[in-house]
């Protein structure tokens, strides 16, 4: 009989022998840091994708989730809002404790180098050990979860202890995570491309993976599931109550005749100027109500009105697409977006509720009592809505008119605008609920909100940096902002904006942007040398801009620019991924 080496091992030791030989070796953070170093030095999007694919191939299914979160500078999916709340000045204290230096010395290095990570790498002197990725992730997650009295000092002490155990390269990257400055320049979409590349050596599976991601946007968990079972077993894209779905978005058309040609029979609804929210409700023991913005932020704390949701819902579990709109307590009229957003505060919500109450206008339903309604037609979803929602002071289903007559669409648009609405939404009646802005399923017909602008719509732009103020604006420290839009994985410049900002807004803009300041432009920025701002900022702030028209430009990297741009408002409900895209700008250019 043939005897292999395993059969010669005593029976009592075989179990442990099996575990030792087959247990996968965990990746060390030092190994991961070498990949982070490569990624930091790489600007080519395709090369970044290949580096990530190589990293994912070497990761096992039990650690890839943590690896994905860490390379994105996160500790959980965005919708869980696990954050450190540590500023640069606090990280200076961390480094002083970790490496037993005087705070003044670390402050001097900070003035010279301007990067917490580089300082940590310099002070570390490779004295650290060989912690695994999982050990580092668990430590960081535990630190982020610390709260209550004395928690800030506990975070400083625990972060210092962790850094003291790391080699120089690992310390460099770990030190950047608590302050949100990992600065590798890619997003979830690049991770999705890299997962496809890991499987096929190309982006062949990217759209398939993105479809799954749209229904459950947790790219870390997605990577883990793909490593465990591949894509085929994950095709079910039914939403889960409590986990946000990326919302369905509208295209732009201004001709009702073209709408009917492209979409056939349509439903016409009023376009609301509120805060887009996906409301998740689960009744009974262990039940909850959550409200997610387009940014996937959970904001139910803003809306005590939702405490009474069970009075209006004839179902055990639902996911509703809504627009939350303030109602002026004196005039009883719908308030504008800025008034609605005064609810964006941690304290005094009950007091604010008496001044600005909220009405939730429901226009779609995605899920009900175990049934995925996203795959149903618009008409079927509206029918389900009519059976589920009990009308009251807090919830109201928006009006809908079915037609294939362009004249009727124009008539409804005029009627809605005369009533104070922005315009109308036109929806294909046989369309499924498809996250993102794809196809001619939903179209908005809206005019700019200011007499200054002749453009058919406003634009949601990403702030890339600002110019110092001159004359009167010198007192604000800011004169103009440089804005752009996303073009694939790049962010290209569109315009400088300096009008439409009041004194108070200038001050607020400066305060917001100073929290996002960075010494170097983000890797995804493409900016002509003549347009470089005095201060660069990370692409976190989105603002709404109106303009007279779109013109061709040889300076702006998008190839087009705005004539007479004007600031309208901050768009805190959007991030750089949900702002206006380059493709939308090109469509707007054609529309004008």
Burial 149-162 (b: 16+ CB within 10 A, else e): eeeeeebbbbbbeb
DSSP 232: G
Alpha carbon distances (Å) from 524 to 183, 190, 518, 582: 10, 12, 14, 14
- Report the alpha-carbon distance of residue 260 to residue 266 in Å, rounded: 7
- Closest to 126 measured CA to CA, from 25, 27, 33: 33
- Closest to 435 measured CA to CA, from 301, 254, 238: 238
DSSP 391: P
DSSP H/E element including 51: helix 45-58
Are 247 and 278 in contact by the 8 Å Cβ rule? The answer is yes
Tokens representing residue 168 in the block? 């120089």
Identify the active-site residue in 65, 155, 210, 271. 271
* Chain centroid to CA 169: 29
Handedness of CA 534, 536, 540, 542 (dihedral sign): positive
Are 280 and 241 in contact by the 8 Å Cβ rule? The answer is yes
Are 525 and 463 in contact by the 8 Å Cβ rule? The answer is no
Is residue 515 part of the annotated active site? The answer reads no
3-class DSSP assignment, residue 482: strand
State the CB neighbour count (10 A cutoff) for residue 441.
Answer: 21
- Closest to 294 measured CA to CA, from 217, 363, 210: 217
- Report the alpha-carbon distance of residue 580 to residue 546 in Å, rounded: 12
- Closest to 518 measured CA to CA, from 33, 185, 296, 189: 185
**Tally: H helices and E strands in the chain:** 20, 21
Tokens representing residue 535 in the block? 């201060």
The Cα angle at residue 135 between residues 132 and 136, in degrees rounded to 5 = 90
- Report the alpha-carbon distance of residue 164 to residue 270 in Å, rounded: 58
* Chain centroid to CA 479: 28
Tokens representing residue 200 in the block? 């096929």
- Three-state SS for 265-282 is CEEEEEECCCEEEEEEEE
What is the DSSP code string of 2-24?
---TTTTS-HHHHHHHHHHHHSP
Tokens representing residue 452 in the block? 């200054």
- Closest to 457 measured CA to CA, from 547, 542, 543: 547
Are 396 and 285 in contact by the 8 Å Cβ rule? The answer is no
Instruction: Give the HSE-up count for residue 70: Cα atoms under 13 Å, Cβ half-sphere.
Output: 28
Alpha carbon distances (Å) from 26 to 31, 61, 62, 432: 10, 11, 9, 43
Question: Which residues carry out catalysis?
Answer: 271
């Amino acid at each position: 009989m043939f005897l292999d080496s395993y059969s010669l091992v005593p029976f009592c030791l075989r179990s442990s022998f099996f575990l030792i030989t087959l247990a996968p070796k965990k990746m060390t953070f030092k190994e991961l840091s070498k990949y982070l170093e490569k990624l930091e030095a790489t600007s080519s999007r395709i090369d970044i994708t290949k580096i990530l694919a190589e990293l994912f191939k070497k990761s096992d299914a039990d650690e890839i989730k943590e690896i994905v979160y860490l390379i994105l500078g996160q500790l959980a999916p965005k919708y869980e809002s696990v954050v450190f709340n540590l500023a640069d000045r606090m990280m200076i204290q961390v480094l002083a404790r970790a490496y037993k230096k005087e705070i003044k010395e670390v402050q001097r290095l900070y003035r010279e180098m301007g990067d917490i990570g580089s300082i940590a790498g310099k002070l570390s002197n490779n004295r650290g050990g060989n912690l695994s990725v999982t050990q580092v992730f668990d430590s960081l997650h535990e630190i982020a979860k610390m709260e209550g009295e004395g928690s800030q000092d506990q975070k400083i002490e625990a972060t210092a202890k962790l850094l003291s155990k790391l080699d120089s390269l690992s310390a460099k990257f770990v030190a950047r995570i608590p302050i949100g400055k990992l600065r590798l320049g890619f997003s979830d979409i690049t991770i999705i491309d890299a997962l496809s590349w890991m499987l096929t050596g190309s982006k062949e599976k990217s759209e398939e993976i993105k479809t799954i991601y749209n229904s459950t946007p947790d790219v870390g968990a997605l990577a883990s599931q793909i490593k465990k079972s591949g894509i085929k077993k994950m095709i079910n894209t039914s939403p889960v109550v409590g986990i946000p779905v990326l919302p369905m978005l509208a295209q732009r058309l201004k001709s009702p005749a073209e709408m009917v040609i492209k979409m056939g029979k349509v439903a016409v609804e009023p376009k609301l100027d509120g805060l887009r929210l996906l409301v998740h409700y689960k009744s009974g023991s262990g039940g909850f109500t959550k409200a997610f913005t387009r940014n996937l932020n959970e904001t139910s704390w803003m809306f005590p009105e939702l405490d009474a949701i069970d009075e209006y819902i004839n179902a055990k579990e639902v996911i509703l697409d809504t627009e939350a709109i303030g109602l002026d307590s004196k005039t009883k009229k719908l308030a504008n977006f800025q008034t609605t957003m005064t609810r964006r505060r941690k304290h005094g919500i009950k007091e604010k509720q008496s001044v600005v109450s909220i009405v939730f206008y429901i226009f779609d339903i995605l899920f009900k009592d175990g049934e995925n309604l996203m795959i149903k037609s618009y008409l079927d979803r509206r029918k389900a809505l009519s059976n589920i929602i009990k009308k009251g002071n807090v919830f109201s289903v928006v009006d809908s008119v079915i037609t294939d007559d362009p004249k009727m669409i124009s008539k409804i648009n005029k009627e809605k605008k005369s009533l104070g609405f922005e315009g109308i939404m036109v929806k294909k009646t046989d369309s499924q609920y498809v996250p993102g802005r794809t196809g001619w399923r939903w179209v908005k017909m809206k005019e700019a909100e200011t007499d200054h602008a002749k453009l058919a719509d406003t634009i949601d732009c990403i702030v890339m940096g600002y110019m110092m103020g001159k004359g009167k604006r010198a007192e604000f420290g800011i004169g103009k902002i440089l804005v752009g839009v996303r073009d694939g994985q790049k962010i290209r410049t569109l315009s400088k904006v300096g009008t439409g900002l009041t004194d108070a807004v200038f001050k607020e803009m400066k305060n917001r942007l100073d929290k996002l300041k960075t010494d170097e432009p983000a890797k995804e920025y493409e900016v002509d040398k003549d347009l470089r701002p005095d201060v660069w900022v990370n692409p976190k702030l989105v603002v709404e801009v109106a303009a007279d028209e779109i013109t061709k430009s040889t300076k702006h990297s998008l190839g087009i620019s705005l004539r007479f741009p004007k600031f309208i408002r901050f768009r805190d409900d959007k991030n750089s991924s949900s702002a206006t895209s380059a493709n939308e700008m090109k469509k707007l250019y054609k529309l004008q």
